[in-house]
Amino acid sequence: MSKTKLELTWIGKNERKKLEPRILLEDPSKSYHASQKVTDNDIFDNKLIFGDNLLALKALEQEYAGQVKCIFIDPPYNTGSAFEHYDDGIEHSVWLSLMSERLRLLQRLLRQDGIIFIQIDDREHAYLKVLCDEIFERRNFITSVTVQMSHLSGVKMSHVEKNIPKIKEHILVYSNSPDFKFNKVFVKADWDSTFSRYRSFLSCEPSEPIETWTVEPLGAVIKSKNLSGDSLEKFLLKNAHRIFRTARNRSEVFMTLPKDEQFRAIKTSSGLDKYAYKGEEVLFCSEKLVDIDGENVPAKPLGDIWLDIGINNLHNEGSVDFRNGKKPEKLVKRCIDLSTNPGDLVLDSFGGSGTTGAVAHKMGRRWIMVELGEHCHTHIIPRLQKVIDGEEQGGISKAVNWQGGGGFRYYKLAPSLIVKDKFGLEVINKEYNPEMLAEAVCKLEGFTYAPSVVDWWDHGYSTETDHIYVTTQSLSVEKLEALSEEVGSDRTLLVMCGAFRCEVSRFANLTLKKLPKAILDKCQFGQDDYSLNVANLTDDASDESDAQQDD
């Protein structure tokens, strides 16, 4: 009996595109680096790529497959509402097809221990979840986080009678293997909710001085001048079953208590030392103090509902105004904190206003961002320049003590390798110089582009002994004989040339192929835009023009 795979289907799902693996061309005039190193951990080889993100992901595939530790994407939500910097609303099946193509490439870029965070709203959340189950495998689904992204105010309140206002979004979280483990992340907890309180009503005078004791894990802390150790011990013994019931299952408690409280410590003879005393209340420390954003505060473990993300005055965070699309730096920081360590690679293929790159940069992570819109130049580059110069002190800057440093390289996608001439014939694009041609053909043939400084004909390799030579020249028998002799019997060479004048099998160590004929069927050439920036095809444009973010 055959097994039927459970999957989501839609019109056009199986129409896979044969993407051209473009090369990336750096524009040094737009690349930016700090004038000097600020720390030894400065990172300068980050990438900002301007171009269609599907083509950009394909361009990254060969070099970065299995290299990315964390992906954070905030794709257009298909709400049917046109936003300032892109059109966010397309026919449902088209949206699924475009997301499917991108997610498959993103999955190939993830490390084995990598993780992806995808922010989305209610309209496509359920469909995207099923699609991700198929691509990343259902066993690798971790959670769907609910995050508060706006308040009940403004235009939302004007529609409260006919609809329940939207103030939350979702973040789908998938790993690339079932063995993924999160880093420990804590969030702030209120003092009152962190302690279990018990009234003591003890008023006796101390019969002996209270012993000063260094606070340690599971230590005792006391603040009182009119309470004897004996009386306190009796109270603790009487209430031990309530006060310390959960302590046995906890390995960590508060190391210290608030700086504005003058606590003294006492160790009782009974050994029941897991308490804190404040006035007439005994406080059991149920969690620990941790450093959160530079502040030593009570903490609790992170759950899957995030209500503490700062969303006020978000419009100008990062010194750029990007309405209805910008994500809080604190939100991206949390995702990066959960999944990476300094030096790990973070990717965002929907760059938007540049939040992911800015946050990853401040946190000492390597990053790659892709953006097609002109706001790549008007928003992302100026924002990153201020981050690198240390001038941008908003967002998470103070929490991570950001002082500036590092840099990035700006790339654009090369034009299509194959174009049609005036007669309609497919030919090599004249914009390609010999170096660009060699690199592009290497990608198409699965070779690593690495021009040799010793052998003029060696443009790259697939193995230690298998190499490639790319030229538009027509090679005569004499040239091929000389080339074969230089390659030798212990190596093989793929020769991609304009033409050759001999039998294909004449040389045992040479494989001969003609350009451009040999590559025409490799992929779809001449397609420059696979973007989600398409015209609205839905009729249900809602009143949610502020819904993606009411920041």
Q: Would you say how long the chain is, in residues?
A: 551
* Angle 498-504-509 from CA coordinates, rounded to 5°: 100
For residue 16, the model assigns a pLDDT of 82
Q: Residue 245 has what pLDDT?
A: 33
Hey, where are the domains in the chain?
29-185+303-413, 188-299, 418-519
Partners of 495 in beta bridges = 469, 512
Two tokens, residue 490 = 């212990």
| pLDDT values of the chain reduced to their tens digit, one per residue, 551 residues | 456 677 888 888 888 889 999 999 999 999 999 988 898 889 999 999 999 999 999 999 999 999 999 999 999 877 655 445 555 555 778 888 889 999 999 999 999 999 999 999 998 899 999 999 999 999 999 999 999 988 776 665 565 566 788 889 999 999 999 888 899 898 887 644 444 333 232 222 333 333 333 333 333 333 333 334 444 444 444 443 333 333 333 323 322 333 333 333 333 333 333 344 433 334 444 445 677 877 766 677 899 999 988 777 777 787 676 666 678 999 999 999 999 999 999 999 999 999 999 999 999 999 999 999 898 999 999 999 999 999 999 999 999 999 999 999 999 999 999 999 999 999 999 999 999 999 999 999 999 999 999 999 999 999 999 999 999 999 999 999 999 999 999 999 999 999 998 999 999 999 999 999 999 999 999 999 887 554 333 333 333 334 334 33
What is the per-residue pLDDT for 98? 87
Give the model's pLDDT for residue 343: 96
Asked if domains 29-185+303-413 and 418-519 share a fold, the reply is no
Q: What pLDDT is attached to residue 157?
A: 57
Cβ atoms of 540 and 114 within 8 Å: the answer is no
What is the per-residue pLDDT for 93?
Answer: 81
Preceding omega of 451 cis (within 30 degrees of 0): no
- List Cα–Cα distances, 389 to 32, 379, 403, 481, in angstroms: 10, 16, 8, 56
Q: Which residue reads 């973040």 in tokens?
A: 171
- Name every residue whose Cβ is closer than 8 Å to that of residue 517 and which is 6 or more positions away in sequence: none
H-state helical runs in 205-326: 229-243
Helix (H, G, I), strand (E, B) or coil at 156: helix
Q: Which amino acid is at 107?
A: Q
Report which secondary-structure segment, H or E, holds 355: helix 355-362
CA 12 – CA 93 distance, rounded (Å): 7
The CATH code belonging to domain 29-185+303-413 is 3.40.50.150
Using DSSP bridges, classify how beta strands 110-120 and 168-175 pair: parallel, antiparallel or unpaired.
antiparallel
pLDDT in tens, 51-91: 999 999 999 999 999 999 999 999 987 765 544 555 555 57
Fold of 418-519: Trna Endonuclease; Chain: A, domain 1 (3.40.1350)
